[in-house]
Structure 1
Amino acid sequence: MTDRADVPSAVLESLRRICAGLPESYEEPAWVGTRWRIRQRTILHVFTAQPGATGTFSRAAELTEPAVVMTFRAQQEDFEALVNSGHPFFRAAWGFDVVGMIVEPDADWAEIGELLTESYRKLAPMKLSRLLG
């Protein structure tokens, strides 16, 4: 069985490339998995969820096998569109603006980059957000 903290290195490297372009964002270990933050706000959290063992995440994502899950913030209109679109997106277990996403092996990293950039814009100070153009 895969540990909840285990995230495939290819996924972590892809996320690191994306987050490297987000001014002053930083990576740190989370209570499980890894997260990226701006100041004290979490832009992205990624970990491996286990069916049944991960409680609300495995229920929200309707997991039947271990899966890499990430959570991020979205503007209200984007949040509704994403969670209502279904797999791979779901309503995370907390927060009115937190989207969950199952990271599939064939994930669209350009789309993930756009989603994480918007998560950053939502949480970063305006002066940093403006640096993204």
Structure 2
Amino acid sequence: MHRGQIPQEWLARLRVLCLELPAAYEEAAWAGTRWMIGKRNFAHAVMIQDGWPPAYARAAGSPGPLAVVTFRVPLAAGGSMRFRQRPYFKPPWWPDIAGIALDADTDWDRVSMHVTASYRLLAPKALLR
């Protein structure tokens, strides 16, 4: 089983987006890299390759290679068709998670918007002031 890595350029962009948020930190996840606020994961980057990790490959509809980022969304938005059309995908494991595939044409402003909104859903209210 080969475990791919997110291209360093994209990982660096995600780090800038995530770590500029108050009290956010990065850690290695069971697969890929995730960004946390407290004990809550607000963004998770994974490289799907050769069908691994299988849950991500199924959710994104691709055996890879494909770089993806998952993030939290409001429950009301989780069921929206927006998150069921490329470049988005809707993982089944939590109702408030959506994902986006990264590629050479990725709109990084859009990724920033999703990551920031995800952080805002999970961050303590005192940090949001």
Please indicate, yes or no, whether the TM-score normalized by the shorter chain is above 0.5. Answer: yes
For 1:1-133, list aligned pairs within 5 A.
Answer: 3-4=3-4, 6-81=5-80, 82-84=82-84, 86-130=85-129
Change (3 A) 1:83 1:123: same
Instruction: State how far apart, in whole Å, the 1-side matches of 2:79 and 2:35 are.
Output: 23
Post-superposition CA distance 1:92-115 (Å, at most 9, x none): 131110102111221111111111
Residue type of the partner of 2:118? S
Asked if 1 retains the 8 angstrom alpha-carbon contact of 2:6 and 2:45, the reply is yes
Post-superposition CA distance 1:1-28 (Å, at most 9, x none): 9623x11111111111111321000011
Change (3 A) 1:51 1:79: farther
Identity, in percent, stands at 37
SS of residue paired to 2:9? helix
TM-score by length of 1: 0.87
Instruction: State how far apart, in whole Å, the 1-side matches of 2:64 and 2:41 are.
Output: 26
The answer for unaligned runs of 5 or more in structure 1 is none
Instruction: State how far apart, in whole Å, the 2-side matches of 1:120 and 1:83 are.
Output: 18
Instruction: State how far apart, in whole Å, the 1-side matches of 2:47 and 2:2 are.
Output: 8
SS of residue paired to 2:79? helix
Asked if 2 retains the 8 angstrom alpha-carbon contact of 1:120 and 1:129, the reply is no
